[in-house]
């Protein structure tokens, strides 16, 4: 056997070894981004129009908001639903939240577009003034640099109201407030100021919730599902010029491996799908991943999800 044949044999053996190692490597699942899949959880979900959701433990001692666009939210009229007093004004909102006597309130900001942060600073300001134990989380550069002047203009000190002593949370990072844990995950979307758009994995009430923010379908959702093993997805389905539509959202939920899904981010402006998008998502999910339970809601409606 000549030298070239020997080298060829060594390369083949090395390749086989590498492939074997890949085949036997431990999967990303349990423990790689937040422990094994949670079971036996219960979380109250209220859709507030557009891409905004209220998530709470059944006793409302832990409350989280996926984005902050409440009294200016235009996502109610196409459902012919009148906005309730607690979401019609900042004063009504602060009174509503304070009356729950929560132990912790967490406002999660996915990105800086108006239909996600249109009422963000006023939300934090009125909750803080009402004595509510509120904190906010968002991508760290946005929190530490991009929004600092806005926090100060609102009379808010970032070190006191932004998680992790004002530094926010970056991709792969973790923040905690009260009984809630949150991790930042990528989203494929643009922003006004150029800081990364994001989604969240939120642990609340024994349930892990994926909050998509605005995003397209992207292949790493498979990895996010394997790594974080979420139970429930609040996922954008509006389509149009800015985000994925119902079919892509259903595929995202399949890749994420969730058992429950709630369609959001539709019927709030003329560029996105109307109120029919929720049922389109339900039909797409029945075709793509029929085991996933879909809750199609109207703005203001609340569902208790058990996972």
Q: How many CB atoms lie within 10 A of CB 8?
A: 12
Cα–Cα distance measured from residue 261 to residue 264, given in angstroms and rounded to the nearest whole number: 10
Q: How far is CA 40 from the centre of its chain?
A: 20
Cα–Cα distance measured from residue 234 to residue 84, given in angstroms and rounded to the nearest whole number: 22
Question: Which CATH number goes with the domain that contains 99?
Answer: 3.60.15.10
Please report whether residue 139 resides in a domain. Answer: yes
Please report whether residue 30 resides in a domain. Answer: no
Q: What is the pLDDT along the chain (307 residues), one digit of tens a residue?
A: 444 444 444 444 444 434 444 333 344 444 445 568 999 999 999 999 999 999 999 999 999 999 999 999 999 999 999 999 999 999 999 999 999 999 999 999 999 999 999 999 999 999 999 999 999 999 999 999 999 999 999 999 999 999 999 999 999 999 999 999 999 999 999 999 999 999 999 999 999 999 999 999 999 999 999 999 999 999 999 999 999 999 999 999 999 999 999 999 999 999 999 999 999 999 999 999 999 999 999 999 999 999 9
Please report whether residue 12 resides in a domain. Answer: no
Strand partners, 198: 186
Residue range of the domain that includes 280: 38-306
Cα–Cα distance measured from residue 100 to residue 93, given in angstroms and rounded to the nearest whole number: 11
Please report whether residue 33 resides in a domain. Answer: no
Domain count, the chain: 1
Do 235 and 248 contact (CB within 8 A), yes or no?
no
Do 211 and 110 contact (CB within 8 A), yes or no?
yes
Give the length of the chain.
307
Please report whether residue 5 resides in a domain. Answer: no
């Amino acid at each position: 056997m000549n030298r070239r044949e020997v080298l060829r044999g060594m390369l083949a053996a090395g390749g086989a070894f590498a492939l074997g190692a890949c085949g036997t490597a431990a999967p990303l699942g349990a423990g790689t981004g937040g422990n094994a899949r949670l079971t036996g959880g219960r979380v109250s979900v209220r859709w507030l129009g557009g891409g905004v959701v209220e998530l709470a433990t059944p006793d409302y001692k832990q409350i989280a908001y996926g984005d902050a666009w409440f009294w200016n939210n235009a996502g109610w009229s196409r459902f012919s639903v009148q906005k309730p007093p607690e979401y019609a004004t900042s004063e009504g909102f602060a009174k509503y939240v304070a009356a729950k006597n929560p132990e912790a309130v967490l406002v999660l900001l996915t990105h800086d577009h108006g239909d996600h942060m249109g009422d963000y600073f006023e939300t934090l300001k009125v909750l803080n003034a009402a004595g509510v134990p509120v904190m906010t989380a968002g991508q760290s550069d946005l929190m530490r640099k991009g929004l600092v002047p806005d926090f100060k203009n609102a009379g808010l000190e970032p070190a006191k109201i932004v998680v992790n002593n004002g530094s926010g949370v970056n991709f792969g990072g973790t923040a905690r407030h009260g009984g809630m844990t949150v991790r930042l995950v990528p989203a494929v979307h643009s922003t006004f100021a150029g800081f990364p758009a994001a989604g969240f994995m939120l642990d609340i009430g024994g349930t892990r919730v994926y909050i998509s923010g605005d995003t397209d379908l992207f292949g790493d959702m498979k990895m996010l599902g394997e790594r974080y093993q979420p139970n429930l997805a609040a996922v954008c389905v509006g389509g149009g010029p800015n985000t994925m539509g119902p079919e892509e959202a259903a595929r995202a939920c399949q890749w994420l491996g969730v058992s429950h899904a709630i369609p959001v981010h539709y019927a709030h402006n003329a560029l996105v799908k109307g109120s029919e998008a929720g049922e389109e998502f339900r039909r797409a999910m029945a075709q793509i991943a029929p085991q996933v339970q879909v809750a199609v809601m109207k703005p203001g409606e609340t569902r208790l999800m058990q996972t």
